[in-house]
Amino acid sequence: MTSQRIPKQMKWLASIYGAGARVRNAFYDRGTLKPDVLDGPVISVGNLSVGGSGKTPFVLLLGQLLKERGIKFDVLSRGYGRQRRGIALVDVGGSPRDFGDEPLLIARRLGAPVVVGENRFHAGRFAEAKFGPQLHLLDDGFQHRALARQFDIVLVTLEDASDQLLPAGRLREPLSSLSRADAVILATGASPDPFPLAGKLVWRVHRGISANNVPARPVAFCGIARPQNFFLQLRLAGIQPVAEAIYRDHHAYTAQDVRDLLQLKEKSEADGFVATEKDEINLVVHLTALQPLTIIPAKMELANAADALDTMLRVVQERKRRA
């Protein structure tokens, strides 16, 4: 009886959620609600669903491409999971409790300024006061319409095509919201057919991992949105874990977690551990207790990257000039 009521309740709640999202978007589309505008141009990287679409790897990729062109930029992020409030410049030697795990990872990998804040406009103003009106990368920005942007990049997954709105599924917006996107990111080989992409730039990315010096019989563990993707990538790279442990996304590891993992290693006769870069951030002081531990960086490659970057920068420049 209960199992029959829950799906109906979820669908009802999802319809309410969807109606709220449509009304809010309509207010922005019609100009009833007006976004705040920064002096520097803004490129948003976002998605339709909750977690696991590859936003952070794409921000890292885009940031690296910009650095290769000599273009100065900063990253604006909400700083999900941090315990501090207000605007802060990420300190690469800091803690995920202060800045969030993904902003800390981005700052360490790119060596570029990353500013976190609940209000991304205020974060952008802080960045401009400190670094000037340079290019801003808005992390997880597709739904954050309170801040104006000159280019919207949206990553989609194959699961998005058949998913439902929150809380019945993982979608934060319906597929029709892709009409706002300038460029839609699809995995190499994925068909665009399920998505309404008429007139949109479709960019192809290849996702993988970089695996070196991996133990022969590792325990694989992670606290990310789609853990099975990580385990699949390990196997595709020829790594066969003898045991797996899954934690919730953004999990802050404790001493008990370390004891559990060491016990799992002993029980499975493993000879080490493998985990993601985000887990490395969230292990903090427990990092040295899990040895040997191989951190597996995520890799993302953009097809025709130079042409894509040229197009994006041209559109950004034109729109900023007209604004």
CA atoms of 220 and 19, how far apart (whole Å): 41
CA atoms of 173 and 175, how far apart (whole Å): 7
What domains, with CATH codes, occur in the chain? 30-72+134-206+301-322 (3.40.50.300), 211-296 (3.40.50)
Helix (H) / strand (E) element for 76: namely: strand 73-77
- What is the pLDDT, as a whole number, of residue 1? 32
Per-residue tens of pLDDT for the chain, all 323 residues: 333 455 778 888 899 999 999 999 999 999 999 999 999 999 999 999 998 889 999 999 999 999 999 999 999 999 998 999 999 999 999 999 999 999 999 999 999 999 999 999 999 999 999 999 999 999 999 999 999 999 999 999 999 999 999 999 999 999 999 999 999 999 888 889 999 998 899 999 999 998 889 999 999 999 999 999 999 999 999 999 999 999 999 999 999 999 999 999 999 999 999 999 999 999 999 999 999 999 999 999 999 999 999 999 999 999 999 98
Q: In terms of Cα–Cα distance, which of 129, 116, 182, 119 is closest to 153?
A: 182
Q: In terms of Cα–Cα distance, which of 156, 263, 139 is closest to 200?
A: 156
Helix (H) / strand (E) element for 260: namely: helix 255-267
CA atoms of 114 and 98, how far apart (whole Å): 13
* pTM score: 0.94
- With tokens 């007006």, the residue in question is 34
In sequence order, which residues have a C-beta less than 8 Å from that of residue 23 and are 6 or more positions away?
A: none
CA atoms of 126 and 88, how far apart (whole Å): 9
- What angle, rounded to 10 degrees, do the helices at 55-68 and 305-322 form? 90
Q: Residue 81 has what DSSP assignment?
A: T
